[in-house]
Amino acid sequence: MRIDLHTHSRVSDGTQTPAELVAEARRAGLDVLALTDHDTTAGWAEAAAAARSEGVALVRGTEVSCTASGISVHLLSYLHDPHDAALAELLTRSRTSRDGRARAMVDRLAVDFDVTWAEVAAQAGAGATIGRPHIADVLVARGYAADRAGAFATMLAPTGPYYVRYHAPEVAEAVGLVLAAGGVPVFAHPRASSRGRVVSEQVIRDLADAGLVGLEVDHRDHTEADKAWLRDLAAGLGLLVTGSSDYHGAGKPNRLGEYTTTPEVLAEIADRGRIEVVR
């Protein structure tokens, strides 16, 4: 069984529709795929219909934007009730803040570059969770960067003059809301230091006390030392270990199934989640 529990579609910052993503998962030989768009469940219905027709099992999830004392972190929530009001409200607040933040970044960029909000909004598409990747795509289309990675390394870098922050909940609060919504919270790429500062061991210990269920260990943004350290920590705290691609279509080099999760861990997640795995 090949199981990839972290992927993105056009409903956030991936480049394929949910149906295209599921079809690609089948071609890539995956048996189980999780759709985990940033701060939204809007792709779930389309992905579920595609999963049934393609014969791929689908874990419905969301990658929740969070902060831990000012450090940006991502929390994967699997199999939560999409109608849970408190969690849905938290996700709506983050999407709204992302929207204002992207407009503010475009305002700053427009002083020095020929870019407009209309182009960025068109790039993202109606209803998608807006992120820097959509701004990157416009900068690439305009010839200011070779690809998304190039734009992130320069104009979109957090240390640069065009960067604007957005509001996201504290991760401990998000763990509580995910659990209350019947979801299974897993800390995404906890040691991805290429993206910025990472949290201390104590933060992960505190989250485990708050009900965190797992750590995403096998991920391309982790070194071998990161993975060994996280695996030890997970064992000590009784946390599940997952591995995933964090696939973003053409937006990143990550390939579907480049890291995977064991069937035993998937069974544990399915057991704890409030909603079904679509089969």
How far is it, in rounded angstroms, from Cα 253 to Cα 98?
24
H-type helices in 181-256, by residue range?
201-209, 224-237
Per CB under 5 A, 13 contacts Zn ion: no
* Rounded least distance, CB 130 to ligand AMP, Å: 7
- 39-76 b/e with 16+ CB inside 10 Å = b? bbbbbbebbbebbeebebbbbbbbbbbbbbeeebbbbb
Read off the tokens for 10: 């056009």
Per CB under 5 A, 24 contacts Zn ion: no
Q: Of residues 18, 61, 82, 133, which one binds ligand AMP by CB under 6 A?
A: 133
Q: Of residues 10, 60, 80, 148, which one binds ligand AMP by CB under 6 A?
A: 148
How far is it, in rounded angstroms, from Cα 123 to Cα 135?
8
What does 134 interact with, of Fe ion, ligand AMP, Zn ion, none (CB < 5 to 8 A by kind)?
Answer: none
Name the residue nearer to Zn ion (CB basis): 63 or 218. 63
Identify whether the C-beta of residue 256 lies closer than 8 Å to the C-beta of residue 11.
Answer: no
Identify whether the C-beta of residue 14 lies closer than 8 Å to the C-beta of residue 247.
Answer: yes
Which residues in 45-74 contact Fe ion (CB under 5 A)?
74
Inter-axis angle of helices 201-209 and 224-237, to 10 degrees?
30
Rg (CA), the chain: 18
Name the residue nearer to ligand AMP (CB basis): 38 or 191. 38
- Percentage helix, strand, coil, to 5, in the chain? 45, 15, 40
Handedness of CA 113, 118, 124, 130 (dihedral sign): positive
Per CB under 6 A, 13 contacts ligand AMP: yes
Give Cα 125 distance to the centre of its chain.
Answer: 18
What does 252 interact with, of Fe ion, Zn ion, ligand AMP, none (CB < 5 to 8 A by kind)?
Answer: ligand AMP
Q: Of residues 246, 249, 251, 260, which one binds Zn ion by CB under 5 A?
A: 246
Stretch that binds Zn ion, among 95-103, 130-138, 174-182, 242-250 (CB under 5 A): 242-250
Site track 74-93 with Fe ion (rule: CB under 5 A), x = hit: x-------------------
Stretch that binds Zn ion, among 115-123, 199-207, 239-247, 266-274 (CB under 5 A): 239-247
Give Cα 101 distance to the centre of its chain.
Answer: 18
Site track 189-228 with Zn ion (rule: CB under 5 A), x = hit: ----------------------------------------
Per CB under 6 A, 95 contacts ligand AMP: no
Q: 95 CB contacts (<8 Å, ≥6 apart)?
A: 39, 40, 129, 130
Which residues in 178-197 contact ligand AMP (CB under 6 A)?
none
Q: Of residues 88, 104, 149, 210, which one binds ligand AMP by CB under 6 A?
A: 149
Stretch that binds ligand AMP, among 115-123, 209-217, 244-252, 261-269 (CB under 6 A): 244-252
Binding interface with Fe ion (CB under 5 A):
13, 74, 188
